[in-house]
């Protein structure tokens, strides 16, 4: 080291005594120090005394600009006298003790660590080595080590590891010297390479000589020893060495001993240290096996149970839980195969991909028939025997100290598109115009001349549409199967007729054949006189509820000048709120007081309707309001009524509250719906409908310890196996009789109706059931959507339901979301509605192993459990549970038929059948705009030249909220308010309200019958396998050829892991900003109009969050509708609008779960935002929109907008809220993170935006 020159900081007196002594020490450095040993001792002793007695002396040495530390280190290097060296080490120790963080950093930056290691090596060569010197050196190294990122590497390269080990071996009984050695060893071991090296030198065995049974002596030493041992055991090599040495039993015995004797809980850290050692050993398969054989499960379960009453012992309970859950033997799901219980034979199989993999399985279970449940000969869900926690051979482990930050930087932007050629949209019509001319029939409005149309005629003569395939004529497609209403529970299971298609699983079934055209067509009942669909008011003040003027349906809707001014005024103001509440609901809400859930029924009248059961020749029982003849008596009741004239269903008349719902019409629509299992039942909620509750449903507050208690109940299954019933009570893999008879002690389940999903129910305890969801047809995963029926319950009893094969690593069920329940008894009493329900809800990793086939080739993955508890309020009730508000394909057809019936002469509405799906269902295409004022050339020209808006929804069947948003959009567009009139006059809407009817009908969560995610097929859709996507894209390609590219494209989706409503769009500039690619200014030139629509929505829609929006283009999304329509069709405003399945954490609805009223309101607000957009883009040819941001901001308050959120993973990015320890219990990194935050069990809600953006 070069000889430093003493310098003083400005402001420090030059006659400072400590600085003078340091100057003297500096002059003695080198040979002078070796010659004048006594003087060196005296000078260093005086410096030490000053620093110990005067705080300012230490500050002077460590002050900025001072070279005191360099002088001290230089003297330490040059000193050969033990006493002088000890004095200098004491000086350093005193300096680093105060303000340790910054001062230690300075010490390390000056090369202090290397000096200490060199001194340690030199001291070790003395025989015998100075004990005092070794003590001081190791004490200093223990202080410095945690602050030096390369400490472990330096120790290994310098040879210090062996010095410390040998010193420990020679001083096992010298606690004074052993303690600092253990402290340094703890730091050494954080480097995995060092840990492996230490293990080879026998340090693991050495540590087990130090750890001891309960004693009040040397507890500090024992704590440090356990910390060091825990660090050593993170190495898989060392963990195996510990298992081979029989130390798992030793650790369990020690833990039990400390648990029994530490009755006052003064040594919790020692107990925790023992558990950490066990946790690290059980990261390997051998360790888990040894733990089980040593009866570790019972020991930890019993000790943890005894700790539960003491809140301060939570860290012990949490770590014990992690170990027990990790060691819980992996089980396979209680199903014969992870493939769907239903099979649909595809017309052609893709050449590659997951579907091809399914079809390439060995023969044995798969036949060419629609319904098949036999397992494959080679079961495809075997439990992986690999060690899911083992890493590569420990000998090849690399230095991984503090490299996490570097890894994060490498991974962060991995999915962002960096190819500028792909980032610049280039219109690509794809198919030639000759091929696309067949789609001209879907755009009659572009060529219609209305010459034969009488603009003064009545509604019945004014229609311009072809006969709708979704009106009463849909009954011509009905099958001959009986339709059971409301459900099969109306009859005793033994009296339920089994359709012939289900009696024989092996019968071959082809396509549905249409009945003869001469078959009688039932006529629709006369439509009820509904309330206006769009009783919509726009207010600047959220507390005002002034209704806008709504023209009468019997009068024309040509706007007067005053009405035109009103619209202009409304759009110029801040649009705080769009309410979709019908008048009846508004009145009920005003009279409801505080909104108690037990308010009086909103429906007082009842009506008697002939049960549609008779259509199938099956009689049903009478359903009374009291519910006494429901459930347990249903068997005798059903038999008695079989010979009668037919059932009368006494239900409340809710026509005023549900203007678009008709139970009779719904049943007619069901008859034309085709499903793979040939469903013959109608679920009561779909039959009768849903009236949105008038009370608020807040996000569920998390009860402390609830998840832990649920996990412990799961662990009890292994501890007390005799208490487990393990009785299957419902099983779709037994097609002839899925409802298994019992003695009446079990609940009855059913999911055999449209959109239903429940594969199996297993009674594990008297009031607890494990539920297995069915995977998507032609798939072996996507378990998320559920919809099933429960009956036979006891009033007031707490039932626990566990859905055990969820796949996502986290869920909004951990953050306040509840399941939905529909009670038939409540409905009959006048409250037909889905309500949020469930207590003790949590979502965590379980002990059921996922097949590597279903996990994308990844081994060792587990399923997750979503558990909730509930009580039932009514005797003999029939209740339904669902993931989200169901919206079936038949419901859509019914709504479209009702909307058409409500059309006024001024509305141009056409319903076309875009195509037939794989399953034989029609895919509706709607065209909505305003009729021209007359058939003059000017009016016809204006009619044809309106900009197009293209909307779609429900490509993912489990995202039912998308359909409720679409319902709100359709009702608004078909309304008679001035805003709706203006919107129709301004645009032509082309709408595909359900892109995946087959998936919806068959209860899928994400896929169509092809087993593929249709929103990943837009780049190259197959006309046979993906007909709805193929033809929808063709419509857009046709518009490109006709130079009528839509102004806006929006695909409605639902989001399962984020709150609020938000949009994903496409921007070159924002994508480049999020990546590291270099781009010229010309590359970044783009119209900012893509932000306009989300900005407007953030101002008028309380559920919408601009901060959650993202405009980044990712590689993984290049085949989605949003990106393909932007890139190939050239639609700048191409969006995915995501609606939460949970609730909101901002705005008016903050802290509330979202309901159908809010979702429909969002659909209407989207329409209003288009009116704002129309005003802002009023100039022809959609001129450059760079000034629109200022235009928007001048009319509204400032909307906070965070930077673009970068998102990953399909359409549902990772939900980056902090995850409970139990959600990732096998992940070592997660465990370490929890330790750092104090082992807190319960979880916060969401990270702040800044944290989220940083982590993404």
Rg (CA), the chain: 36
Take residue 156 and report the two structure tokens written for it.
Answer: 């290994």
Nearest to 381 by CA among 735, 849, 702, 840: 849
C-alpha distances out from residue 319 to 9, 232, 296, Å: 51, 18, 13
* Torsion (CA) 354, 358, 360, 362 in degrees, nearest 10: 150
The partner residues of 950 in beta bridges, in order of sequence, read 990, 1049
Q: Pinpoint the alpha helices (H) of 755-904.
A: 824-828, 889-901
Q: In sequence order, what are the residues at sequence separation of 6 or more whose Cβ sits closer than 8 angstroms to the Cβ of residue 18?
A: 47, 50, 51, 54, 57, 60, 61, 68
Task: From the candidates 754, 1012, 1070, 1138, give the one annotated as an active-site residue.
Answer: 1138
Nearest C-alpha neighbor of 821 from the set 769, 748, 878: 878
The residues, ordered by sequence, that sit 6+ positions from 797 with a Cβ below 8 Å of its Cβ are: 767, 871, 872
Bridge partner residues of 1049 (DSSP): 950, 1134
Residues 694, 699, 700, 702, Cα dihedral to 10°: -160
Report helix, strand or coil for 711. helix
Please confirm, yes or no, whether 668 is among the known catalytic residues. Answer: no
Looking only at the bridges linking them, the beta strands covering 787-791 and 839-849 are unpaired
Q: Is 290 exposed, middle or buried (0-12, 13-18, 19+ CB in 10 A)?
A: buried
Strand partners for 927 = 910, 990
> Helix/strand/coil (H, E, C) string of 1167-1204?
HHHHHHHHHHCCCHHHCCCCCHHHHHHHCCCCCCCCCC
CA 1091 vs CA 148, 1112, 1147: distances in Å? 47, 12, 20
- CA dist 256 and 101 (Å) reads 38
Q: At what angle do helices 314-327 and 285-293 cross, to 10 degrees?
A: 100
DSSP readout, 91-115?
A: HHHHHHHTTHHHHHHHHHHTTHHHH
Phi-psi region of 711 (alpha: psi -120 to 50; beta: other; left: phi over 0): alpha
Angle between helices 175-188 and 203-210 (to 10 degrees): 140
**Is the Cβ–Cβ distance between 284 and 390 less than 8 Å?**
yes
C-alpha span between 45 and 1246 (Å, rounded): 56
> Helices 236-244 & 203-210, crossing angle to 10 degrees?
60
CA gap 820, 1143 in Å, rounded: 13
Classify each residue of 231-259 as buried b or exposed e, where b means 16 or more C-beta atoms within 10 Å of its C-beta. bbbbbbbbbbbbbeeebbebbbebbbebb
User: DSSP secondary-structure letter at 951?
Assistant: E
Classify residue 642 by its DSSP letter: T
Query: In 3-state terms, the chain is what percent helix, strand and coil (to 5)?
Result: 45, 10, 45
DSSP state of 249: H
Bond preceding residue 906 cis, omega within 30 of 0? no
Instruction: List the catalytic residues.
Output: 1138
């Amino acid at each position: 080291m070069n000889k430093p020159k003493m310098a003083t900081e400005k402001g420090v007196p030059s006659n400072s005594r400590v600085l003078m002594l340091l100057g003297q020490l500096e002059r003695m450095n080198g040979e002078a120090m070796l010659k004048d040993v006594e003087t060196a001792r005296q000078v260093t002793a005086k410096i030490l005394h000053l620093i110990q007695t005067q705080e300012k002396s230490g500050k002077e040495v460590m002050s900025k600009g001072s070279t005191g530390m360099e002088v001290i280190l230089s003297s330490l290097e040059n000193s050969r006298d033990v006493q002088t060296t000890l004095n200098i080490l004491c000086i350093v120790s005193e300096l680093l003790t105060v303000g340790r963080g910054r001062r230690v950093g300075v010490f390390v930056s000056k090369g202090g660590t290397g000096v200490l290691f060199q001194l340690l090596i030199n001291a070790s060569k003395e025989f015998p080595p100075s004990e005092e010197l070794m003590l001081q050196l190791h004490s200093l190294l223990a202080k410095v080590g945690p602050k030096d990122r390369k400490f472990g590497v330096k120790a290994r390269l310098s040879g210090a590891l062996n010095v410390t080990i040998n010193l420990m071996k020679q001083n096992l009984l010298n606690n004074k010297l052993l303690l600092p050695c253990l402290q340094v060893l703890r730091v050494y071991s954080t480097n995995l390479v060092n840990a492996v090296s230490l293990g080879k030198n026998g340090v693991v065995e050495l540590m087990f000589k130090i750890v001891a049974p309960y004693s009040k002596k040397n507890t500090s030493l024992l704590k440090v020893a356990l910390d060091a041992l825990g660090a050593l055991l993170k190495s898989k090599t060392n963990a195996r060495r510990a298992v081979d040495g029989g130390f798992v039993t030793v650790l369990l015995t020690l833990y039990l001993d400390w648990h029994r004797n530490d009755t006052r809980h003064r040594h919790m850290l020692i107990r925790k240290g023992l558990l950490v050692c066990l946790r690290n050993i059980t990261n390997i398969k051998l360790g888990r096996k040894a733990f089980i054989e040593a009866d570790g499960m019972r020991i930890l379960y019993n000790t943890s149970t005894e700790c539960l009453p003491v809140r301060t012992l939570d860290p012990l309970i949490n770590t014990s839980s992690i170990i027990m859950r990790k060691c819980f033997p992996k089980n396979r799901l209680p199903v014969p195969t992870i493939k769907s219980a239903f099979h649909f034979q595809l017309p052609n199989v893709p050449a590659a991909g997951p579907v091809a993999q399914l079809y390439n399985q060995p023969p044995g279970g798969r036949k060419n028939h629609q319904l098949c449940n036999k397992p494959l000969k080679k079961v495809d869900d075997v439990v992986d025997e690999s060690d899911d926690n083992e890493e590569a051979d420990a000998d090849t482990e690399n230095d991984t100290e503090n490299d996490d930050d570097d890894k994060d930087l490498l991974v962060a932007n991995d999915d962002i598109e960096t190819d500028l050629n792909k980032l610049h949209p280039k219109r690509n019509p794809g198919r030639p115009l000759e091929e696309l001319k067949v789609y001209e029939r879907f755009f009659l409005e572009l060529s219609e001349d209305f010459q034969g149309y009488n603009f003064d005629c009545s509604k019945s003569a004014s229609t311009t549409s072809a006969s709708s395939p979704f009106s009463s004529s849909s009954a011509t497609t009905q099958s001959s199967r009986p339709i059971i209403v409301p459900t099969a529970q109306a009859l005793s299971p033994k009296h339920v007729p089994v359709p012939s298609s289900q009696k024989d699983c092996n019968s071959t079934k082809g396509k549905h054949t249409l009945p003869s055209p001469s078959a009688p067509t039932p006529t629709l009942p006369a439509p009820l006189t509904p309330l206006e669909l769009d009783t919509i008011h726009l207010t600047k003040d959220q507390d005002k509820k002034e209704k806008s003027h709504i023209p009468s349906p019997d009068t024309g809707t040509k706007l007067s000048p005053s009405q035109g001014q009103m619209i202009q005024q409304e759009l110029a103001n801040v649009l705080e709120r769009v309410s979709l509440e019908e008048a009846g609901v508004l009145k009920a809400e005003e009279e409801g007081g505080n909104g108690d859930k037990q308010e009086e029924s909103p429906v007082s009248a009842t009506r008697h309707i002939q049960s549609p059961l008779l259509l199938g020749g099956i009689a049903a029982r009478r359903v009374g309001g009291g519910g006494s003849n429901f459930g347990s008596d249903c068997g005798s009741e059903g038999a008695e009524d079989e010979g009668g004239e037919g059932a009368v269903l006494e239900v409340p008349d809710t026509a005023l509250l549900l203007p678009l719902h008709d139970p009779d019409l719904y049943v007619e629509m069901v008859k034309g719906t085709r499903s793979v299992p040939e469903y013959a039942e109608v679920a009561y909620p779909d039959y009768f409908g849903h009236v949105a509750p008038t009370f608020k449903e807040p996000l569920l507050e998390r009860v402390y310890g609830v998840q832990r208690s649920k996990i412990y109940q799961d662990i009890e299954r292994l501890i007390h196996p005799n208490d487990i019933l393990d009785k299957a009570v419902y099983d779709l893999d037994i097609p002839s009789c899925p409802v298994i008879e019992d003695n009446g002690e079990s609940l009855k389940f059913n999911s055999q109706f449209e959109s239903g999903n429940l594969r199996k129910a297993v009674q594990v305890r008297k009031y607890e059931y494990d539920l297995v969801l069915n995977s998507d047809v032609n798939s072996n995963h996507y378990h998320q959507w559920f919809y099933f029926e429960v009956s036979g319950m006891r009033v007031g009893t707490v039932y626990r339901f566990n859905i055990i094969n969820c796949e996502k690593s986290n869920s909004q069920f951990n953050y306040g979301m509840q399941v939905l329940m529909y009670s038939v008894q409540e409905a009959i009493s006048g409250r037909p509605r889905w309500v949020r329900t469930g207590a003790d809800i949590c979502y965590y990793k379980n002990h059921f192993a996922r097949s590597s086939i279903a996990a994308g080739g990844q081994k060792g993955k587990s399923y997750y459990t979503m558990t909730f508890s509930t009580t039932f309020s009514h005797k003999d009730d029939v209740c339904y549970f669902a993931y989200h508000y169901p919206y079936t394909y038949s419901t859509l057809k019914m709504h479209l038929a009702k909307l058409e019936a409500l059309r006024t002469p001024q509305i141009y509405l056409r319903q076309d059948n875009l195509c037939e799906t794989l399953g034989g269902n029609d895919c509706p295409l709607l065209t909505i705009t305003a009729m021209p004022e007359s058939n003059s050339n000017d009016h016809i020209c204006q009619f044809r030249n309106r900009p197009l808006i293209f909307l779609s929804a429900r490509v993912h069947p489990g995202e039912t909220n998308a359909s409720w948003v679409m319902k709100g959009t359709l009702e608004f567009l078909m309304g008679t308010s001035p805003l709706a009139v203006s919107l129709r006059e301004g645009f032509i809407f082309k709408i595909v309200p359900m892109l995946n009817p087959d998936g919806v009908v068959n209860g899928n969560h994400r896929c169509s019958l092809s087993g593929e995610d249709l929103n990943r097929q837009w780049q190259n859709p197959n006309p046979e396998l993906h007909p709805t996507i193929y033809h929808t894209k063709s419509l857009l390609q046709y518009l490109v050829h006709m130079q009528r590219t839509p102004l806006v494209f929006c695909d409605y989706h639902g989001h399962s892991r984020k709150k609020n409503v938000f949009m994903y769009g496409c921007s070159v500039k924002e994508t480049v900003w999020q990546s590291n690619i270099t781009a010229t200014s010309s590359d970044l030139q783009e119209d900012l109009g893509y932000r306009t629509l989300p900005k407007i929505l953030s101002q008028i829609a309380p559920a919408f969050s601009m901060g959650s929006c993202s405009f980044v283009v990712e590689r993984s999304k290049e085949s989605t509708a949003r990106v393909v329509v932007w890139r190939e069709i050239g639609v700048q405003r191409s969006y995915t609008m995501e609606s939460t399945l949970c609730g909101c954490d901002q705005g008016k609805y903050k802290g509330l779960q979202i309901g159908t009223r809010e979702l429909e309101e969002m659909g209407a607000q989207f329409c209003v935002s288009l009116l704002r957009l129309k005003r802002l883009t009023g100039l022809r040819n959609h001129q450059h929109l760079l000034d629109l941001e200022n235009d928007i901001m001048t009319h509204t308050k400032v909307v906070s907008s965070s930077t673009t959120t970068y998102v990953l993973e399909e359409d549902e990015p990772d939900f980056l809220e902090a995850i409970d320890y139990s959600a990732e219990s096998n992940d070592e990194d997660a465990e370490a993170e929890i330790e750092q935050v104090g082992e807190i069990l319960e979880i916060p809600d969401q990270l702040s935006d800044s944290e989220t953006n940083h982590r993404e």
